[in-house]
Every structure is written in structure tokens, then in C-alpha cells.
Amino acid sequence: MTTGIHGLHVLIGGVLLAVIGQRIRSGEVNAENYILLENGALYWHLVDLIWIFIFPLYYLIL
């Protein structure tokens, strides 16, 4: 269940980063308006950080 919930968050993060990439291409996110990009990166790194704890807990210890 834990890895499934994490997988859902990975999917959400991937969609979020794709949306941000599209907004960068359209010029909506730029050097003056970068908050969405920064928040998307923070979300993605949070998901990545949680995986660092989930992986050893379930796959290396058990």
C-alpha cells in the first residue's frame, strides 16, 4: 500500500512537471515568474526523498 501511494504521488509529480514544462514553452513561466517551477521541483524532490526511506524499509530490510 505504501509503495502504491508513493507511485500515485510519482504520477502526480510527473503530470505536474509536464504541465510546468508546457507553461515554460508557452512563456508563462519565466525568469520573473518562477514560483510554479520552484514549487514543482520542491514537490518532486519531496517524493524522491520519501522513496529513499521507503525503499530500504521494504526491499532491503525484509
Query: Domain residue spans in the chain?
Result: 2-60
Name the pLDDT band for 62 (thresholds 50, 70, 90). Answer: low
Q: Is the pLDDT of residue 2 over 90?
A: no
Quote the pLDDT of residue 20. Answer: 96
pLDDT tens digit sequence for 8-56:
999 999 999 999 999 999 999 999 999 999 999 999 999 889 888 888 8
Global pTM value: 0.77
Burial class (CB in 10 A: 0-12, 13-18, 19+), 29: buried
pLDDT in the model for residue 23: 96
For residue 60, pLDDT beyond 90:
no
